[in-house]
Chains A and B, each alone.
Chain A
Amino acid sequence: MPTKTYAGKTVEVTDEGFLVNPDDWTEDMAPEIAKEEGIEELTDMHWKVIRFMREDFKERGQIPSIRRMKNVGGIPTADLYKLFPGAPAKKAAKIAGLGKPEGCV
């Protein structure tokens, strides 16, 4: 399993760079992962998304979908795409130290 070092801590990651164990994640890792995803600075809005994802994951054991972030987290989908351009669900999950959202077949 490949490893990466964020905020001075070495963690196991998947081939695509998602943390293997969400419990390894600490908030000070997020800005460093974000930079790798092309996001230079995490704003309060970014943090609102990251914290919602972490809490929801803790509660349900599942990475919230974009629809859930809208319905339950109150985060408009258009905002998500602006905050995490390209693939918001994937990028936000990665920065939040969660696994890759389960691809649907």
Chain B
Amino acid sequence: MKKLLILGAGTAGTIMANKLAPVLDKSEWEITIVDREEIHYYQPGFLFIPFGIYTREDIIKPKRDFFPPGVEVIMSEIEQIMPDDNKVKLSNGKILPYDYLIIATGSRVNPAEIEGLLDGGGWRQNIFDFYTPDGALALAKYLKYWEGGRLVVNVAEMPIKCPVAPLEFVFLADWWFTEQGIRDKVEIEYVTPLPGAFTKPRAAKFLGNFLEKKNIHLTADFNIARVDAGKNKIVSWDEREVEYDLLVTIPTNMGADVIARSGMGDDLNFIPTDKHTLQSKKWENIFVIGDATDLPSSKAGSVAHFEAEVLYENFLRAIDGRPLLPKFDGHANCFIESGFGKGILIDFNYDVEPLPGKYPLPGIGPFSLLEETRMNHWGKMMFRWVYWNLLLKGSEMPIEAQMNMAGKRQ
């Protein structure tokens, strides 16, 4: 029997299991998936928790509900990957040999990377993150009783998972404080290491205008060195200071610790991966997908989904001894919640920055690219259903994995 081992049962790992289980011959292949956590979190929902739009119940389901029949599921920490021996060691010492390995171990925030963030005395007092369920829930509690002051949202360093989420957070904060009747008592400042609101020039300008319109102050090119929690300020490497009453941080994002323990990652524990085929740069029988890669694409569920289409095809080619196809183009597709029941949609890849137009049907939509509409907001809210019912199950979706220029205006 040949063995396919999938590490990680988040968005990417679950989709791969669901796509491959029905097509791999059961008399030839054993599929095993390993994860340490029984709960599947709908991560795009974390954003809505601080504002009371979603509760914890709205964003969780048991992982086991999403695994296809015939796949062995192991709930365990992974101790080490031994890629030269084609083996993985679990925390209880059990050894899992494999013929092919798909690594989908994701990324997570690591607040300990920034001096004074976790250990300065302010953590979960007036410093919160919303990239973890616990952080988002703690922030919801805090915001409920907050009477106003300086809200600073700081992106520590790039790359981060879902690079639009911090912007959505400030847009929603502007809306939420307005609803609470205290917007005039809150100053909102967005502090980022990027030269503007976003990475890609046209979208950066478009989103920058939104910040201005909503009276959100933008501080760009700010590379945080430390948090001075005693004095409630963040300090950059070039000694600029920003004071806060409430700090919402997006800490350094890093790949899983097991990647570091296995010596397979870069300085942020992301795995060097061919950006078009998704094969490991070093090991032929290892593929990497989702946030675990070092690809210069967004770390986002939509990217994991588009990658899955390419990896599915390439995996089947690999086991048939055929050359891999360089078909992944960096395609990302992000709904950006902009507050007051509206949203923006962006669609881009490695080479083409977000452009205006209609999506997914050229000229028709129903969604509008790089434009703020109510329909885009409904798309975002509907997406949770799509995620649980179609996307995770690896179902065919009415959109192509590769970005399409049709419907876009230059």
Contacts and interface: CB of A to CB of B under 8 A. Distances in A.
Please report whether the interface of chain A is mostly helix, strand, loop or mixed according to DSSP.
Answer: loop
Contacts, number: 37
Contact of A103 (B199, B223, B266, B332): B199
Interface of B: 158-159, 163, 199-200, 221, 223, 225, 237-238, 266-268, 296-298, 332
B268 A67 contact: yes
A104 B193 CA distance: 11
Interface of A: 65, 67-68, 71-72, 77-78, 80-81, 85-87, 102-105
Contacts of A104: 158-159, 199, 296
Contact of A105 (B221, B268, B332): B332
Contacts of B159: 104-105
Please report whether the interface of chain B is mostly helix, strand, loop or mixed according to DSSP.
Answer: loop
A27 B128 CA distance: 47
Nearest to B200: A105
A87 B199 CA distance: 15
B237 A78 contact: yes
- Of B159, B267, B332, the most chain A CB neighbours within 10 A belong to B267
Contact of B225 (A67, A78, A103): A78
- Of A71, A80, A81, the most chain B CB neighbours within 10 A belong to A81
Going nearest first, the 4 A-B pairs with the smallest beta carbon separation are A104-B159, A81-B237, A104-B158, A67-B267
A45 B223 CA distance: 21
A88 to B, nearest CB: 8
A46 B49 CA distance: 47
A105 B225 contact: no
B131 to A, nearest CB: 16
Given A67-B267, A68-B267, A77-B225, A105 B199 contact: yes
Given A105-B296, A105-B298, 8 more contacts: A65-B267, A77-B225, A81-B223, A81-B238, A103-B158, A105-B159, A105-B200, A105-B332
A68 B272 CA distance: 15
Contacts of A105: 158-159, 163, 199-200, 296-298, 332
